[in-house]
Amino acid sequence: MDLELRHLKVVCAIAEHGSVTRAAAHLGLAQPALTAQLNRIERALGGPLFDRDHRGARPTALGELVLSRAKVVLPAVADLRHEAARLASTPVTAIRYRIGSVGNSMVSGLMRRLSESRPDTSVTTQASWSALELTELVSAGRLDFAIIGVCGDAPPPPGLEWRLVAVDAVGVLLASDHPLSGGDEVDLADFAAARWAATPGDGCFADCFAAACARAGFTPEPMYETDLRVCLDLVTSGQAVALCQPTFREQPDVRGYPFASAPLRWRHLIGWHPDAPADGVAPQVHEYAREAYRDSLRHSPSYAGWLARHPEFGA
């Protein structure tokens, strides 16, 4: 006999009511029928689930194990049925956006615009350090859009339709008390002796950064590759400077500065699969992403001023 959800419900009912007789009355079954069913369940599981006598039924060690699992499985199945019923009753006109991104400041603004576009819009997000991983998720139909960055003129991962959102000059994140902080931009050559930090990623950026440093006349110190929180700690403690997008939100103790002459560029792209339903709304989502990028500049007024003087960058 294969164990079924109804068998778990029987075991739970007997444990809850303390006897087969009371459980049978609760379930609307005859007591002999429930006893026979319990016997079949016990044979399927390999041993008695209850010690039964004139005082009632008490779970055995095996019974306690089955009950502990049933208390997980039964609520989970009930939740599944509820969510399935809710989804099945959702109007077919409801719109769902599943967006993956690699650490981009425009995502929150894009989410807000999508949510405000229609009251029945559902927006979910997924973060990854890997543009290739997000591309594969979109290709597999598990995401609708991917927002990634690529270095310079490097091509994005194949398989999706890609549109340019904006181009940034790569910059450096400095603490407010750093000797080179305070201006509009900084020279890469001035950081020949610096320790560097950066968040992870794939693509050719590491090679492009090394080449830019070589053109500036130095070989960079080994880089700390870590998450954003540790990058900020390294910067504010003076242990390192961090590579960043200058759209990084300005704070009293840290700020992003573009490199003079822009030796490194970062292209923000949004991609989707051309054969997926997302293709029908992609032009509007692309425009929302461009608006969200421009909106993000409100938090980086110094960089916004720099972009005004360098119109070849930005959205």
d(CA 157, CA 136): 9
Q: For residues 28 and 161, which has the higher predicted lDDT (pLDDT)?
A: 161
Tokens 């229609």 locate to: 118
Domain boundaries for CATH 1.10.10.10 within the chain:
5-88
Question: Is domain 92-315 classified as CATH 3.60.70.12?
Answer: no
The answer, yes or no, to whether residue 62 has pLDDT greater than 80, is yes
The answer, yes or no, to whether residue 92 has pLDDT greater than 50, is no
Residues 6+ apart with CB under 8 A from 69: 8
d(CA 293, CA 266): 13
The answer, yes or no, to whether residue 82 has pLDDT greater than 90, is no
Domain boundaries for CATH 3.40.190.290 within the chain:
92-315
The mean per-residue pLDDT over the stretch 31-47 comes to 89
Distance, C-alpha 240 to centroid of its chain: 27
Are 207 and 255 in contact, with CB atoms under 8 Å apart? no
Q: Give me the chain's average pLDDT, please.
A: 88
Class of the domain covering 5-88: mainly alpha
Length of the chain: 315
The answer, yes or no, to whether residue 48 has pLDDT greater than 60, is yes
